[in-house]
Chains A and B, each alone.
Chain A
Amino acid sequence: MRRAFAAIFSRAETTLAVVIVIVAMIFSFSSPYFLTLSNAADLIEAYSVTTILAAGVFVVLVSGGIDISFAAVASVTQYIAAMVATHYGVPALPAIALACALGALLGCVNALLTYYLNVVSIIVTIATSSIFYALLIYFTGGSEIYNLPDWWTDRVVLFRFETATGDFARITLPMVIMVAVIIVTHLLMSRTHAGRQIYALGGNPEAASRVGIHILRLQLLIYGYLGFLAGLAGFVQAHRVHQVVPTAMFGTELSVLAVAILGGASLIGGLGSMSGVVLGVLLLAILQNGLNLLGISPYFFDVVIGLAILISISVTALTERRARSRRRIVGAAT
């Protein structure tokens, strides 16, 4: 029994899942609205942008890097796509493609600088983030774009059904994009050659390069992928709020990073899974939504997130240490 218990809690993902179930049960007892389909749908849509970004950050974290320029990249691509769409009437698909391609390009700039300057990526991305963001505000004067074309702002409801209480639960475009990103990232990381190489790079860059992994090409993929997702997230964010504000995404860097870390991605690299990141987002979403429904001040929310992060990393570190010492004892006995 005890061993089974230990086995369940030895992985961050399972711990998170158990915590989520407990929290969800508490909230559903205290608020009848919590466990309804329409609430769940709203919740998923509200966290779509964060999840898309967290998926990209997760890939970078696994490779042993930290990228915090994604918010700046998303703002830049969003703005340029919106400008092109409003001024030149560019249709939907080319505009989205432009945003994503531009994002990937800016991500590749990060990869090239990290590789050729031989500096940790957090330093490079602090510099590039300042540059991207500052130039965006400089050239746009910080002005918002409100007159987005209809195809961008119209709510796309792919599926709609009435719940027992008469509310509508909708499957919307942001959710579909989010699910697609989750699946693609999961497949990329667990089913492809490149994904295994990313884990190898994060686990030991020196060894990865000695077994013949092309580091530059891999880093272009990693940071380019995050840039691509940042472009996509910028598009979805503007789709949800119906306007483009250059400063809207600014300051979300650390919270997205926190989400990815909460889900068990390690800063040292080489560890973590997409399911963990999804569970991390889910936990935060449920906490925020549940506290809202209980009528607790939204100002209190950051306190809860902070505590959640500190408790989660402490528990993870302590269980890891216990597992390691147990392994050592077993190793010494045989």
Chain B
Amino acid sequence: MSRSEQPLPRTDAVRAPLDRAVAAIRESTGTNLVGLLLLLLGLFAAFSVLLPGTFLQPGTMQSMMFQLPELGLLSLAMAIPLVSGGLNLAIIATANQAALLMAWILTTQMPADAAGGEIWLWIAFAFVAGFLLCLIIGLITGFIVAVIGVHPILVTLGTQTLISGVSIWLTRGQTLSGFPDALIHVSNETIAGIPISFGIFAVVTLGVHILLTRTVLGIQIHMIGSNLESTRFSGVDTRRVQVWVYVLSSLLCWLAAIVMMARFNSAGADIAQSYLLITILAAILGGIDPYGGFGRVTGLVAALLILQTISSGFNLLGFSQHLTLALWGFTLIAVMAVKRFTSVLVTRYCSRSSIRGS
């Protein structure tokens, strides 16, 4: 870092391309989002026709809002590393371990006769402990990725095995349950018809969106996803950015852990394992580039809504949950096929018009 201390003069000549790049990152909604929203609308229309009087009901919408947050928060935890050109395979293991720690504090350490404010103090203590655990996991993961320079898939494959191994070892594979009523109560509470967990998800999503598009760190995360080396040579401390990526990802797992343990009323070492690949599926469906550098939270939210709509609609139609999973896979392939097809068409059109132009 010490060699590139001299900042470039901020003349217009230097700033123009930089500003253009930042603008491109901010504005790159592309046609993808429009397509996803059309798909979502189509699904809504189809299910409304197929399920008259049951699908477009406040109750259905509310149950969708109850189910969405856990997968949503985990997908955000996967999306940030993906945008940075990496991947975090340890998100489920991290969330489970945080949930286990918080559950352990609430079920065994909290005195049984705690009441009123004391319970809330214990809950707050458990949350802080979970936060610190995720912070440490994120720092270690980020450190290994940034300093040793191994590909994140390898690192997080190792940390995933290690973290879930520690959880299994400490719990002997058992689940912890029986949380204070206050916590369960709050998680099932709604404000103006909107579940609290969905409110948390909405606020966090907005926060991540702002972070990725409006802050220096967010732009730097996009930049290292596009090209790590050239970002480093342009004077960005890429190691710091990479550590941040995995810290943020792990802290999102902490939020997911809170939502999950409150909804399932239990915590265990191998809960929700199947979500791992689904979060990647959701992120890619939402238009996040698997090679890194591009991707929008808005696209991810649209993808999550599509997945949830398929799931809820199929559930109401009486189809098995497995058929839903199959259709999720088909949706991803279909969306990629459409994207490929349009890009081929666009390239062909552009090359033809340029030939004609010259």
Contacts and interface: CB of A to CB of B under 8 A. Distances in A.
**Bind each other:** yes
Interface in B322-336: 322-326, 328-330, 332-333, 336
B87 to A, nearest CB: 9
How many A residues touch the partner, as a band?
35 or more
B173 interface: yes
A314 B326 contact: no
Nearest to B281: A126
Contacts of B340: 116-119
Given A122-B290, A261-B154, A307 B333 contact: no
Given A267-B151, A317-B148, A306 B159 contact: yes
Contacts of A321: 149
B326 A134 contact: yes
B154 A267 contact: yes
B150 A313 contact: yes
Contacts of B151: 267-268
Given A116-B340, A118-B340, A309-B158, A129 B277 contact: yes
B163 A138 contact: no
Interface string A298-314: 01111111110110011
Interface in A30-69: 66, 68
B326 A138 contact: yes
A119 B336 contact: yes
B168 A302 contact: yes
Interface in A96-129: 113, 116-120, 122-124, 126-129
How many B residues touch the partner, as a band?
35 or more
B346 interface: no
B233 interface: no
A309 B157 contact: yes
B329 A313 contact: no
A131 interface: yes
A164 B277 CA distance: 50
Interface string A254-279: 11011001000001100000000000
B273 A127 contact: no
B329 A134 contact: yes
B91 interface: no
Contacts of B326: 130-131, 134-135, 138
B169 A138 contact: no
Contact of B165 (A68, A261, A301, A314): A301
A245 to B, nearest CB: 15
Contacts of A297: 169
Contact of A117 (B320, B322, B337): B337
B329 A254 contact: no
Contact of A138 (B149, B323, B329): B323
A257 B280 CA distance: 17
A130 B325 contact: yes
B310 interface: no
B162 interface: yes
Contacts of B172: 299
A318 B148 contact: yes
Contacts of A307: 158, 162
Interface in B140-172: 144, 148-151, 153-155, 157-166, 168-169, 172
Given A134-B326, A267-B151, A310-B144, A299 B173 contact: yes
B329 A127 contact: yes
B322 A303 contact: no
Given A134-B325, A306-B162, A314-B144, A126 B169 contact: no
Contacts of B150: 313-314, 317
B290 A123 contact: yes
Contacts of A138: 320, 322-323, 326
Contacts of B125: none
Nearest to A66: B153
B333 A299 contact: no
Contact of B154 (A124, A302, A313): A313
Contacts of B259: none
B333 A310 contact: no
Contact of A130 (B163, B165, B169, B329): B329
A251 interface: yes
A128 B284 CA distance: 14
A137 interface: yes
A254 B160 contact: yes
A313 B155 contact: yes
B291 interface: yes
B255 to A, nearest CB: 24
Residue of A129, A131, A134 most packed against chain B (CB within 10 A)? A134
Interface in B320-358: 320, 322-326, 328-330, 332-333, 336-337, 340
B89 interface: yes
Contacts of B330: 127, 131
Given A116-B340, A251-B273, A317-B149, A310 B162 contact: yes
Contacts of A257: 157
Contacts of B320: 137-138
Contact of A123 (B161, B162, B284): B284
Given A267-B151, A314-B148, A300 B322 contact: no
A313 to B, nearest CB: 5
Task: Enumerate the 6 nearest inter-chain pairs by beta-carbon distance, A residue then B residue, closest first.
Answer: A306-B162, A302-B165, A306-B161, A309-B158, A130-B329, A134-B326
5 contacts: A126-B284, A138-B322, A267-B151, A303-B162, A303-B166
Interface of A: 66, 68, 113, 116-120, 122-124, 126-131, 133-135, 137-138, 251, 254-255, 257-258, 261, 267-268, 297, 299-307, 309-310, 313-314, 317-318, 321
Given A66-B153, A126-B281, A254-B157, 10 more contacts: A119-B290, A123-B290, A124-B336, A131-B333, A138-B323, A302-B165, A303-B166, A304-B165, A305-B162, A317-B148
